Amino acid sequence: MNSPTTPRSPYGLENHGIRNPGDIYWNLPTPMLYEQAIRRREGRLSHLGPLVVRTGQYTGRAPNDKFIVRDPANEGKIWWGEVNQVMEPEKFNTLRQRLLAYWQCKDLFVQDCFAGADPDYQVPIRVITETAWHNLFARNMFIQATPEQLEKHVPQFTVFHAPNFHAIPEVDGTRSEIFIVIHFQERLALIGGTHYAGELKKSVFTILNYLLPQQNVLSMHCSANMGSDGSVAIFFGLSGTGKTTLSTDISRVLIGDDEHGWSDHGVFNLEGGCYAKVIRLSPEAEPEIYQTTRRFGTILENVGYDSLTGRIDLDDETMTENTRASYPISHIGSATRQKMGGHPNNIIMLTADAFGVMPPIAKLTPEQAVYYFLSGYTAKVAGTEKGITEPKATFSTCFGAPFMPLFPRVYAQMLGDKIAKHNVNVWMINTGWSGGPYGVGKRISIGHTRALVRAVLNGTLANVPMRDDPSFGIAVPTACPDVPPEVLDPRSTWPDPAAYDAQAKKLAGMFIDNFKKYSEGLADNIKAAGPKVS
């Protein structure tokens, strides 16, 4: 069935090798995708309108099941290793042909859209799914095309999404039944074996992280917002560190909550929507995000749901800690529809320190900014990846190693150059633990973190005296409005200062050991910008 009411591209599915499918649903709008999802029993309508869905046994990303196809064009460009695993073209072709055979006589949903708000760097993409709700997810998360654009849309990259199709490792060269495979030369991504929708958005992000730096655009795993005076702030950080929460501020204009490019024009959103973690979401602390969980068009992934009343329970962690909401950015009243801003005035690197020894805020020199960006220290928060059940200290270079196909120094060099060119202030904010490590200490108050962010953005900290942190060599403010002085000194929050010193020394040593893999080709002043262990 080709719906006559929805515009479609002249670039047909036969161009992707799709033959003899069932009904094809082209670019369905949100209400029609709701109808299809509910009719097919893919989800339930909840109180006030969100669509509640379940992703089964996989409720987070599967980074160990992600591959890039080796080809002559990318052989020397890709950062091969544990993050970017090799798949040979022959195995990719086998997997693709088996998937195409599986799709024969299957109904398919097609969503033609764009990635990248800056018209000069916008990438036309196509997402083909076998489920209506994943197609709605693509419609939420990417930039919607106008009817006129749809009629001439030719995808530069296409994503096949088949969650009910499973790989056979000994045949397909995968590690499990799950696969996320990107073939840059053929401009195609294959996703299967998992219903977790985050794999869709992060696959497209990985593609952009390959394409944009080669056009002198820094692609970043960060959120961004803008003040009434046009001043822009970006927030680096892995999932669960607070990018969405801290950038979604009713007093500032939201540019985007997770993925951005930084070109000669300024900062621009790579997406058209938000994918927020919503476990224990507070209407007081996060009012704008909370309201999205009560709106039509929002998808609620693995959120607690009363099947009788249709009401949701955001405190329910029965399915996972990684409960999620996907919604168009227009659901946030303070968001800009242009999804673009100028060059940043402030960069904030968010870390969730599970050791409990990093200061809640520190000012970084340009050299330290590159060092800590390359280090990407944080804790993987429970549920964001398969197998993560509690916070786990990790180093994820560029604050997004699983999505970075090029060598880390490519992104780091671009960041350093842009910081220098635009005279950007760089800060590190710890949203993790204080008073002890995870399991002993407490998570730093969101109220205190918000106060620190306010002080950064309004310039309050510009003239505050700083002290040098003896373990990490970074400058820590000695005072901040609405933050008790003892909070700014993590050592004073520990009942045993000697235990703090030992833990800080341990973490500093981990930084030094981790950084060895990135030091080749870097300037000496960047190598020397990290912690010092006596």
Catalytic residues: 61, 202, 221, 239, 243-244, 258, 324
**Beta-strand pair 266-269/324-328:** unpaired
The Cα–Cα gap between 366 and 526 comes to 9
CB 210 within 8 A of CB 79: no
Angle (CA) 29-31-33 rounded to 5° is: 70
The Cα–Cα gap between 123 and 207 comes to 10
The two tokens of residue 189 are 């991504």
Q: What are phi and psi of 74, to 5 degrees?
A: -110, 0
- DSSP codes joined into one string, 22-51: S-EEES--HHHHHHHHHHTTSEEE-TTSPE
With CA atoms as reference, report the closest residue to 530 among 407, 365, 398.
Answer: 365
Question: Quick one: 514 exposed, middle or buried, by C-beta within 10 A (0-12, 13-18, 19+)?
Answer: middle
User: How big, in percent rounded to 5, are the helix, strand and coil portions of the chain?
Assistant: 30, 25, 45
The Cα–Cα gap between 121 and 157 comes to 14
CA torsion sign, 384 to 386 to 390 to 393?
Answer: negative
With CA atoms as reference, report the closest residue to 353 among 511, 225, 247, 245.
Answer: 511
What ranges make up the beta strands (E) of 73-169? Answer: 85-87, 108-115, 123-129, 143-144, 157-162
The Cα–Cα gap between 473 and 374 comes to 16
Q: How far apart are the first and last CA of the chain?
A: 70
The Cα–Cα gap between 271 and 328 comes to 9
Side-by-side strand order, sheet with 43-45:
43-45, 51-53, 299-301, 324-328, 273-277
The Cα–Cα gap between 454 and 32 comes to 42
CB 85 within 8 A of CB 66: yes
Task: Please name the helix (run of DSSP H) or strand (run of DSSP E) that holds residue 168, with its range, or none.
Answer: none
The two tokens of residue 80 are 């091969």
The two tokens of residue 160 are 């096949």
Type of residue numbered 264 = D
- DSSP codes joined into one string, 288-318: HHHHHTTSTT-EEES-EE-TTT--EETT--S
Query: Any idea what DSSP says for residue 384?
Result: S
Q: What are phi and psi of 15, to 5 degrees?
A: -65, -20
